[in-house]
């Protein structure tokens, strides 16, 4: 009996990082009872320790590649790369949350538990080798984030955000399941490799195949906030607690791209001829709508929401370009995007002080005079989001557009660069407000060691990747071996 | 042939009662149509030789969850709920748009073929509860355990969002 139990635990080895994250989440819920309300941040630090342990396990397991549990769970460099991105997003998210939750008076242990559950869902999505485990990982992530979006129970905007996200998320899940069930009806298997084997010998002119592919694009379009499936984004990003918005704009979006890459660069590769056209079209309108709508925003959270739509568009350009270079450029881009976007939200969070909401762009007036450090950090993140060298954002966009040109889609790259130029208007406007306008009123920025640490990590990453991109790029290139 | 006719009956009732669930003004009626919906979904499971799922569908959804729904609806003010509009003024346009998409899907599915028809994701000897359990605890262990975490998150979320504001 003992030996079979030991054998069973040995079999669980590939799942250790996920198990660590889930165990930490469960113990956070328990420890929550014993921690005073003033000391809830301890639970955040405890969660961070769990993330570090899981990350070290993921790195250790990177030598062990293959498919486990009957093909439902994959361990490959591709999954490991994305898991490290999720740890980064979750870790930064927890660091920028601690002080903010105190100010909003919503500091409860469930917050950290839900962040960890969402992270474990993303990890399972990146590792999924089967449509069923893919869908369940996605639901685990989505369900946790619906609750987080509505975490400020007494705030009507937060309630609205939670409800809207839940309803539209449920619809997109329904569409996804329909597409998956058609794919299952066609191939007779839910295994991603099995579907690829089937497609290689199948009649690709079958309209049902096309239908299921379109449904998958639609549903993942919802998750990564691509136009025309972006309607929920501005309201949800504005209404959710800012720390959740930061996490939501990074984690689920990166996870969505992990799945998009796994499905469109691997499972549905034989359909590339059709999928490229659709993805390129969506990429173009996503960049257009995101960048143009962002110009008109006065609320910084709404502006960053539209900016996150536009950035999904850039990443979709790389996905449409396809091939090894396209996939590597998307992987590099989503990582850079996650770090710089969370950095920008970290500065926005500093403006939220007791009594001051700090969500309007005019609230940034004169920040360059009253708080030089915060304004300078915001400057770096906004430059990076615009894509100005030597920040990381430039490198990300450079490789995306380069892969599009190499794939013979020069027009898409030109459109991307044009809209990228338009985006400079609304990013630089914030910088102008910070440095050219006089301070409206005196108020103190919120400062905490955790927030400072998060901003330091983000700014270091943005500059280091910007100056020396080959390290991360080579890592991304090496990581696609598993899928292509 | 007879199987297809029975399926057509179940499918038609499922669609019609689903539409009625969201369009009835009285919430109690909505719940009753949902009961009808669940019964017919169980019927589809029987057609697919998934007797155990059909039984679970009836016991868990029709039996337990729907009764809870009914309790909640009755505790709410039915009067006030009945007053609220069920659709906004754009609904004919949206319904038309939905019908166009449904027509497109139907057209594509009718023109296509399903080479995987009859193939199973897992090959098991029988379709009994035992075989289901074996599959869930071997090949689909990971998805099965993820669903338990999903249920836990749902539980935490519901308690989190619904509990009374106490000492904060």
The per-residue DSSP string of chain B comes to -HHHHHHHHHHHHHHHHHHHHHH-SSHHHHHHHHHHHHHHHHHHHHHTT-HHHHHHIIIIIIIIIHHHHHHHHHHS-HHHHHHS-SS-TTHHHHHHHHHHHHHHHHHHHHHS--TTTT--SS--S--SHHHHHHHHHTTTHHHHHHHHHHHHHHHHHHHHHHS-----
Distance from C-alpha of A319 to C-alpha of A334, rounded to nearest angstrom: 11
**Where is A395: in which H helix or E strand?**
helix A392-406
Report pLDDT digits (tens) over A322-375.
Answer: 888 889 999 999 999 999 999 999 998 888 876 666 788 888 888 888 888 888
The percentage of chain A sitting over the pLDDT mark of 90, rounded to a whole number, equals 57
Indicate the burial class of A237 (C-beta count within 10 angstroms; 0-12, 13-18, 19 or more).
buried
Range 47-106 of A in CB contact (< 8 A) with B = 69-73, 105
Flag the least confident range among A61-65, A96-100, A288-292, B126-130: B126-130
Same domain for B163 and B85: no
d(CA A420, CA A441): 33
Under an 8 Å CB criterion, which residues of B touch A? 105, 108-109, 111-121, 138-143, 146-147, 149-150, 152-154, 156-157, 160-161, 165, 168
- A185 neighbors A202 (Cβ within 8 angstroms): no
A158 touches chain B (CB under 8 A): no
Q: What ipTM was reported for this prediction?
A: 0.89
For residues B113 and B133, membership in a common domain is answered with: no
pTM reported for the whole predicted model: 0.93
Q: Do A110 and B121 touch (CB under 8 A)?
A: no
Region B121-147 average pLDDT: 80
Does B70 share its domain with B18? yes
How many angstroms separate the CA of residue B32 from the nearest CA in chain A? 22
Of chain B, the percentage scoring pLDDT greater than 70 comes to 89
Looking at the fold, whether B71 and B97 belong to one and the same domain comes out as: yes
Taking contacts as CB-CB distances below 8 angstroms, the residues of chain B near A202 are 115
Give A211's contacts in chain B (Cβ within 8 Å).
105, 108-109, 112
Which structure tokens are listed for A365? 């007036």
CA–CA separation, A124 and A209 (whole Å):
26
Pick the closest to residue A142 from A128, A154, A124, A160 (CA basis): A124
Q: Which range is least confidently modeled, A62-71, A378-387, A447-456, B92-101?
A: A62-71
Number of domains in chain B: 2
With bands split at pLDDT 50, 70 and 90, how would you rate the model's confidence at A236? very high
* Backbone φ and ψ of A73, nearest 5°: -130, 125
Residue A128, φ and ψ in degrees, nearest 5 = -65, 135
Say if residue A233's pLDDT is above 90.
yes
Give B122→chain A minimum CA distance, Å: 8
Q: Please answer yes or no on whether A114 and B157 come within 8 Å at the CB atom.
A: yes
Q: Average per-residue pLDDT in chain A?
A: 89
End-to-end CA distance of chain B: 64
Radius of gyration of chain B (CA): 20
CA distance A62 to chain B (A): 20
Copy the structure tokens of residue A188.
Answer: 């007779």
Tell me if A351 sits within 8 A of A444, measured CB to CB: no
Contact A388, A317 (CB under 8 A): no
Weakest-pLDDT range from A170-179, A467-476, B79-88: B79-88
Residue window 15-54, chain A: list those with CB within 8 Å of chain B: 15, 22, 29, 37
B74/B103 same-domain check: yes
DSSP A353: B
Using a CB-CB cut-off of 8 Å, the residues of chain A touching B114 are 185-186, 208
Q: Report yes or no: A453 and A381 within 8 Å, Cβ to Cβ.
A: no
Q: Is the pLDDT of residue B3 over 90?
A: no
Other CB atoms within a 10 A radius of the CB of residue B6 amount to: 14
Averaged pLDDT of chain B: 84
Residues B9 and B41 in one domain: yes
Surface-to-core class of residue A343, CB atoms within 10 Å of its CB (0-12 exposed, 13-18 middle, 19+ buried): buried
Chain A residues touching B146 at Cβ < 8 A: 121, 124, 133, 136-137, 140
B64 with B114, same domain: the answer is yes
Phi-psi region of B24 (alpha: psi -120 to 50; beta: other; left: phi over 0): beta
Contacts of B168 in chain A (CB under 8 A): 37, 105
Tens-digit pLDDT profile for residues A278-319: 999 999 999 999 999 999 998 999 999 999 999 999 999 999
Domain ranges within chain A, ordered by starting residue: 14-482
Residue A2's pLDDT band, with cuts at 50, 70 and 90, is low
What's the pLDDT score for residue A23?
95
A131: nearest CA in chain B?
B143
User: Both tokens of residue A83?
Assistant: 């898991």
The DSSP annotation for A165-178 comes to HHHHHHHHHHHHHH
Q: Which of A113, A120, A208 sits opposite B108 (nearest CB)?
A: A208
Which residues on chain A are in Cβ contact (under 8 Å) with B136?
A: none
The gap between the terminal CA atoms of chain A, to the nearest Å, is 42
Cα nearest neighbour of A190 on chain B: B121
Structural domain for B111, as ranges: 2-122
Question: Under 8 Å CB-to-CB from B97, ≥6 apart: which residues?
Answer: none
Task: Verify whether the Cβ–Cβ distance B153 to A187 is below 8 Å.
Answer: no
Dig out the tokens for A44 from the structure: 């955040």
Beta-bridged to residue A73, according to DSSP, are A68, A128
Nearest to B153 among A124, A143, A186 (CB): A143
What are the φ and ψ backbone dihedral angles of B69, each rounded to 5 degrees?
Answer: -55, -45
Q: Do A110 and B156 touch (CB under 8 A)?
A: yes
φ and ψ at residue B25, rounded to 5 degrees: -80, -35
DSSP designation for A64: -
Closest residue in A to B164 (Cα–Cα): A153
Q: Does the CA dihedral A375-A381-A387-A389 come out positive or negative? A: positive
C-alpha distance from B55 to closest chain A C-alpha (Å): 22
- Cβ-nearest to B143 among A72, A186, A208: A72
Is the separation of the CB atoms in A318 and A409 below 8 Å?
Answer: no
Percent of chain B with pLDDT over 90: 31
Give yes or no: residues B99 and B143 share one domain.
no
* 8 A C-beta contact, residue B139 and residue B149: no
Contact A146, A239 (CB under 8 A): no
Give B35-80 pLDDT, tens digit per residue.
Answer: 999 999 999 988 888 888 888 889 998 888 888 888 888 887 767 7
Helices (H) and strands (E) in chain A, counts: 20, 2
Q: How far apart are CA A348 and CA B47, in angstroms?
A: 56
In chain A, what residues touch B165 (CB-CB under 8 Å)? 153-154
DSSP assignments along A80-118, one per residue:
HHHHHHHHHHHHHHHHHHHHHHHHHT---HHHHHHHHHH
Pick from A124, A139, A207: CB nearest B112: A207
- Of A24-28, A36-40, A172-176, A429-433, the one with minimum mean pLDDT is A36-40
Report which of residues A202 and B120 the model is more confident about: A202
Q: Is the pLDDT of residue A382 over 90?
A: yes
Residue B33 sits in the same domain as residue B86 = yes
pLDDT computed for residue B165 by the predictor: 65
Which A residues 160-199 touch B at CB under 8 Å? 162, 182, 184-191, 198
B22 band by pLDDT with thresholds 50, 70 and 90: confident
Examine the domain organization and report whether B74 and B150 are in the same domain: no
Mutation to test the B interface, candidates A137, A143, A228, most B Cβ within 10 Å: A143
**A124:B146 CB<8 A:** yes
Ranking A26-35, A450-459, B128-137 by mean pLDDT, the lowest is B128-137
Looking at the predicted structure, is the pLDDT value of residue B168 above 50?
A: no
Residue B146 to residue B141: CA distance in whole angstroms: 9
CA distance A135 to chain B (A): 9
**How far is the C-alpha of B45 from the C-alpha of B58, rounded, in Å?**
11
Residue A442 — pLDDT band, cuts 50, 70, 90? low
Q: What is the pLDDT averaged over residues A105-126?
A: 92
Residue A67 pLDDT level (bands cut at 50, 70, 90): confident
Asked if B116 and A130 come within 8 Å (Cβ–Cβ), the reply is no
Average pLDDT over residues A396-416: 92
Looking at the structure, do residues B35 and B62 belong to the same domain, yes or no? Answer: yes
Q: Report the chain B residue with the minimal C-alpha distance to residue A139.
A: B150
pLDDT value at A245 more than 60: yes
Picking from A169, A204, A198, the residue whose alpha carbon sits closest to that of residue A184 is A198
Angle between helices A207-224 and A156-187 (to 10 degrees): 160
Is B11 in the same domain as B83? yes
């Amino acid at each position: 009996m003992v030996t079979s139990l030991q054998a069973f635990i040995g079999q669980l080895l590939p799942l250790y990082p996920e198990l660590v994250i889930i165990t930490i989440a469960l113990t956070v819920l328990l420890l929550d009872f014993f921690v005073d309300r003033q000391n809830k941040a301890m639970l955040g630090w405890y969660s961070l320790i769990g993330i570090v342990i899981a990350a070290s396990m993921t790195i250790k397991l990177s030598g062990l590649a293959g498919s486990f549990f009957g093909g439902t769970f994959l361990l490959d460099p591709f999954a490991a790369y994305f898991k490290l991105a999720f740890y980064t997003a979750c870790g930064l998210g927890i660091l920028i949350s601690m002080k903010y939750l105190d100010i909003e008076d919503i500091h409860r242990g469930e917050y950290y538990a839900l962040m960890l559950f969402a992270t474990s869902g993303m990890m399972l999505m990146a590792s999924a080798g089967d449509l069923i485990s893919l869908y369940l990982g996605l639901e685990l992530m989505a369900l946790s984030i619906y609750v987080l979006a509505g975490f400020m129970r007494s705030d009507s905007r937060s309630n609205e955000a939670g409800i809207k996200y839940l309803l539209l998320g449920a619809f997109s899940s329904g569409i996804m399941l329909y597409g998956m069930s058609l794919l299952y009806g066609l191939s007779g298997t839910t295994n991603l490799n099995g579907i690829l084997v089937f497609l290689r010998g199948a009649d690709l002119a079958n309209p049902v195949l096309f239908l299921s592919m379109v449904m998958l694009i639609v549903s993942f379009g919802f998750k990564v906030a691509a136009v025309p499936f972006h309607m929920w984004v501005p309201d949800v990003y504005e209404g959710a607690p800012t720390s959740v918005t930061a996490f939501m704009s990074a984690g689920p979006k990166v996870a969505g791209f992990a799945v998009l890459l796994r499905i469109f660069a691997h499972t549905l590769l034989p359909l590339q001829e059709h999928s490229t056209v659709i993805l390129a079209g969506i990429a173009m309108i996503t960049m257009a709508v995101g960048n143009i709508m962002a110009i008109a925003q006065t609320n910084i959270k709404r502006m960053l929401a539209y900016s996150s739509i536009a950035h999904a568009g850039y990443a979709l350009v790389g996905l449409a370009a396809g091939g090894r270079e396209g996939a590597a450029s998307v992987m590099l881009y989503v990582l850079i995007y996650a770090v710089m976007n969370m950095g920008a939200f970290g500065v926005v969070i500093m403006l939220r002080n007791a009594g001051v909401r700090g969500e309007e762009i005019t609230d940034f007036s004169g920040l360059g005079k009253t708080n030089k450090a915060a304004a300078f950090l915001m400057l770096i993140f906004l430059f990076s989001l615009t894509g100005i060298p030597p920040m990381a954002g430039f490198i990300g966009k450079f490789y995306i557009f380069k892969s599009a040109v190499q794939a013979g889609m020069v027009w898409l790259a030109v459109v991307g660069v044009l809209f990228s130029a338009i985006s400079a208007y609304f990013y630089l406007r914030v910088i102008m407000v910070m440095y050219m306008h006089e301070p409206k009123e005196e108020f103190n920025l919120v400062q905490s060691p955790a927030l400072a640490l998060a901003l330091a990590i983000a700014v270091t990453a943005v500059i280091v990747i910007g100056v020396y991109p080959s390290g991360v790029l080579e890592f991304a290139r090496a990581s696609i071996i598993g899928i292509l | 042939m007879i199987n297809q006719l029975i399926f057509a009956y179940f499918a038609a009732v499922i669609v019609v009662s689903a539409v009625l669930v969201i369009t009835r003004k009285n919430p109690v009626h909505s719940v009753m149509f949902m009961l009808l919906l669940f019964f017919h979904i169980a019927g589809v499971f029987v057609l697919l030789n998934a007797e155990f799922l059909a039984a679970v569908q009836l016991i868990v959804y029709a039996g337990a969850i729907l009764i809870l729904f009914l309790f909640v609806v009755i505790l709410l003010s039915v009067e006030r709920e009945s007053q609220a509009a069920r659709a906004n003024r754009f609904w004919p346009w949206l319904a038309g748009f939905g019908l166009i998409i449904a027509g497109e899907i139907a057209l594509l599915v009718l023109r296509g073929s399903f080479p995987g028809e009859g193939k199973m994701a897992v090959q098991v000897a029988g379709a009994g509860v035992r075989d289901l359990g074996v599959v869930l605890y071997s090949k689909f262990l990971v998805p099965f355990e993820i669903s338990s975490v999903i249920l836990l998150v749902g539980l935490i979320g519901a308690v989190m969002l619904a509990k009374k504001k106490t000492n904060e």
